[in-house]
Structure 1
Amino acid sequence: MHVLIAPDCFTGTLTATQAAGAIAAGWRSSAPDDLLTLLPLSDGGPGFLDVVSGARDGETVAVTVPDPLGRRVPAAVFLTEDEGGRTAWVESAQAVGLHLLEASERDPAVTSSAGLGDLLLAAVSAGARRVVVGLGGSGTNDGGAGMIAALAGRQEGLLAGGGLGLASVAPDDVAGVVDAARAALAGVEIVAATDVEVPLLGLDGASANFAAQKGASPELAQQLEGALGHFVSVLSGVHPAPTDLLTGRPRRLDREPGAGAAGGIGYGLLVLGGRRVSGVDLTLEAVGIDELIAAADLVVTGEGSLDWQSRQGKVASGVCAAAGRHGTPVVIIAGRVLLGRREAMAMGASGVYAVAESLAEVDASLADPVPRLTDRAARVARTWSPRR
């Protein structure tokens, strides 16, 4: 049997490459005669650049940029030659990723997306006419304000000071900044490859759903929501959004799918004239997923937590959709499973398995993830691989 092993990273524990290796090791221990093809994937978050650069011919340019607290960290721009000019691929998590912060440093009140602005400037300096920005896994919640400020050459001030400072932004703080940031990207197509479809504000937005995992208390999450709402109001007053051709009214960029991605960086890129695409769809197209699935008898995918987000542009849902086009069954192995069987089947999964099924097992899996994932994959293989 030919098995395509195509997981995302298990956030906070394993990269997609490590996860694929652990699953493969477990599978081989139970089904040594199966042919395994390993395909680490990303939805635009951590690992996005590794996946794209592994699937495309191109050149990697090393740079350094500020992290969410302003410390210099290594990053990269991957350049490809495409029809219409040079494309730069960047991974926002390399500049604003939650993994760059110690647990005690996680505070979206002060973390900034300014480093992504520097990364975009590096892509433009490399001659890119199109920049694809993978969004996901951020440690920020500033609506892309820091990124816009950095593009405009404003390294200090409220816009670059983190999410909570946006509550005090006045029209004078943003006047001319967006125009300067747009000028820095003049003639360059910006594509935001987002890992989720959530808007910026509201119960489905960035602060309500993701601020807690970035270190925010419930009270701070509410304050960040108010700060982002104020920022949108001020920014819209100074720089009105383009008119919607159907309604004749200004577009509500904060309500568009993906605006809340990466702590609202999706919104910031839309303000700068960018367009949003599904990060996982873009990645799957780049790696030629249809051809690989067509050659496989079974697909095994996985991620850290199979939950409501998994149904909104994450790797598991993207792989299930692609496999559905070929009638190939998909098995999901996740660190934990928070979806019911009916919801998982609606995604297109033929089987779903959790590495950890209790709180104690969750702690153990986080402490020693590879053996746990390997063991679960071995047990799944005994169910799905035909015995000779």
Structure 2
Amino acid sequence: MHVVIAPDSYAGTLTATQAAGAMAAGWAHAAPHCVLTQVPLSDGGPGFLGVLERGLDGQMLATTVRDPLGREVPAGVLVIEEERGRTAYVEAAQAVGLHLLGASERDPVVTTSYGVGQLLRAARDAGATRIVVGLGGGATNDGGAGMLAALGAGSPDDLARGGAALADLGPGGLAGLDRVIADWNNIELIAATDADTPLLGMQGTSAVFGPQLGATAQQAQDLDRALGHFVDRLAGHLPRRTDLVSGTPVRLDKQPGSGAGGGLGYGLLVLGAQLRPGVDLVLAALDLATLVAAADLVVTATGTFDWQSLRGSVVSGIAQLAQAAATPAVVIAGVVLVGRRETMAVGLSGSYAVAETPAQQEAAHADPVGTLTARAERVARTWSPPPR
């Protein structure tokens, strides 16, 4: 029996590679007769670059960028030679990741995406004509203003002091933006998003993700207003676009995914990027469809299996591939918060929680590898019984 183990990371506890290893160890113990293939995955967040490096034939180039508070941190650019030219993959979380900050440092009012602009420059300097940017897992809420500052759109004093400072952005704060847009016109930019959130409003990035990054309710409102002012300042630099069907003006800040990465999606749209679900990009790059079609079972995983997992996630992406190939698929999650009906509707044959009680959750945090291994072993006894 061929089992493909294709997990996402368990945010804050296990990388996707660590999760795959733990699951494979448990499965092998219970079902040594199975052939196991480990394929760690990502939706564009932390681990995006490592997952692609493991599955693609490319070169990792080392660089140094600024973190959300301006400190230098190591980062990488994965360069792939393709028939159409050179493609570079970068992971925004290496520059703006929440994991780069201590608990007391998490403040989306002041954090900046400047380091993402440095990553883009490093990718371009490596000769890439196509750059794919994974956006998830960031600690910023500045609409990509810091990133644009690093590319020369304006002074870092105006654009790289965090989202709240954009409320004071003056008419000349984007003096270099026209040149930057023209300069990047010949680079194909693709933003690998992990959310379809717009930039502004009650469903926008400040309202939805600001509190998760450490913002109070009042700060989230202030950030939304500051981003709105930023959008107004940008308007004069962008060409007017009209929807071909409705004839109405197209607003980049309302595009699904423009709020991804604390608004990095919007900043990249300003540069002419396309927004695509990160999980779809990863699955296509690694040719998971072929692997899933040849398997007898696919086991995916995530930290929390909830309503957000039903669309645009590693779990939902794997479920869709498995359903198309008529291959059974199950998910092992740290916590399961959706019912059997939702699980079946998305294309999964079952869902299994590592922790179902407060005591089990505490044990899982204390020993994430051991508890995931044990749960995978129990699931394997159900799905991979020994041959007769």
The alignment's TM-score, normalised by the length of structure 2, stands at 0.95
Q: Distance in 2 between matches of 1:29 and 1:120?
A: 44
- Residue by residue over 1:250-282, the C-alpha shift from the partner in whole angstroms, topping out at 9 and shown as x without a partner, is 311111121111111011100111111111111
In structure 1, the residue matched to 2:82 is 82
Q: Distance in 1 between matches of 2:166 and 2:359?
A: 40
Q: Is the 8 A contact 2:155 2:173 kept in 1?
A: no
In structure 2, the residue matched to 1:350 is 349
Give the Å deviation of 1:216.
1.6
In structure 1, the residue matched to 2:264 is 265
From the superposition, tell whether residues 378 and 286 of structure 1 become closer, same or farther in structure 2 (CA, over 3 Å).
Answer: same
Counterpart residue type for residue 342 of structure 1: R
Comparing 111-120 and 27-36, the one that deviates more: 27-36
- Residue by residue over 1:144-164, the C-alpha shift from the partner in whole angstroms, topping out at 9 and shown as x without a partner, is 111011111645223111111
Give the Å deviation of 1:287.
0.8
Counterpart residue type for residue 303 of structure 1: T
Is residue 2:135 matched to residue 1:135?
A: yes
Give the Å deviation of 1:237.
4.1
- Residue by residue over 1:146-190, the C-alpha shift from the partner in whole angstroms, topping out at 9 and shown as x without a partner, is 10111116452231111111222233222x332233244241111
In structure 1, the residue matched to 2:358 is 359
Give the Å deviation of 1:64.
0.3
In structure 2, the residue matched to 1:197 is 196
Mapping of 1:303-322 within 5 angstroms? 303-322=302-321
Q: Distance in 2 between matches of 1:75 and 1:22?
A: 26
Mapping of 1:118-197 within 5 angstroms? 118-152=118-152, 154=154, 156-174=156-174, 176-197=175-196
Q: Is the 8 A contact 1:171 1:235 kept in 2?
A: no
In structure 1, the residue matched to 2:34 is 34
Counterpart residue type for residue 257 of structure 1: P
Q: Distance in 2 between matches of 1:42 and 1:107?
A: 25
Q: Distance in 2 between matches of 1:203 and 1:307?
A: 21
Counterpart residue type for residue 355 of structure 1: V
- Residue by residue over 1:269-323, the C-alpha shift from the partner in whole angstroms, topping out at 9 and shown as x without a partner, is 0011111111111100111101111221110001111122212311000000011
Q: Distance in 2 between matches of 1:312 and 1:162?
A: 30
In structure 2, the residue matched to 1:274 is 273
Q: Distance in 1 between matches of 2:240 and 2:366?
A: 47
Q: Distance in 1 between matches of 2:211 and 2:382?
A: 37
Counterpart residue type for residue 191 of structure 1: I
In structure 2, the residue matched to 1:56 is 56
Counterpart residue type for residue 181 of structure 2: R
From the superposition, tell whether residues 363 and 260 of structure 1 become closer, same or farther in structure 2 (CA, over 3 Å).
Answer: farther
Mapping of 1:180-329 within 5 angstroms? 180-329=179-328
Matched residue of 2:300: which SS?
A: strand
Q: Is the 8 A contact 1:149 1:181 kept in 2?
A: no
In structure 1, the residue matched to 2:19 is 19
- Residue by residue over 1:217-246, the C-alpha shift from the partner in whole angstroms, topping out at 9 and shown as x without a partner, is 222222222222222223224435533333
Give the Å deviation of 1:354.
1.3
Mapping of 1:86-125 within 5 angstroms? 86-125=86-125
From the superposition, tell whether residues 188 and 159 of structure 1 become closer, same or farther in structure 2 (CA, over 3 Å).
Answer: same
Q: Distance in 2 between matches of 1:344 and 1:122?
A: 42
Q: How many corresponding residue pairs?
A: 387
The alignment's TM-score, normalised by the length of structure 1, stands at 0.95
In structure 1, the residue matched to 2:331 is 332
Matched residue of 2:275: which SS?
A: strand
Matched residue of 1:325: which SS?
A: helix
Q: Distance in 2 between matches of 1:290 and 1:266?
A: 27
Give the Å deviation of 1:121.
0.5
Q: Is the 8 A contact 2:300 2:329 kept in 1?
A: yes
Q: Distance in 2 between matches of 1:221 and 1:88?
A: 34
Q: Is the 8 A contact 2:46 2:91 kept in 1?
A: yes
Q: Distance in 1 between matches of 2:223 and 2:348?
A: 36
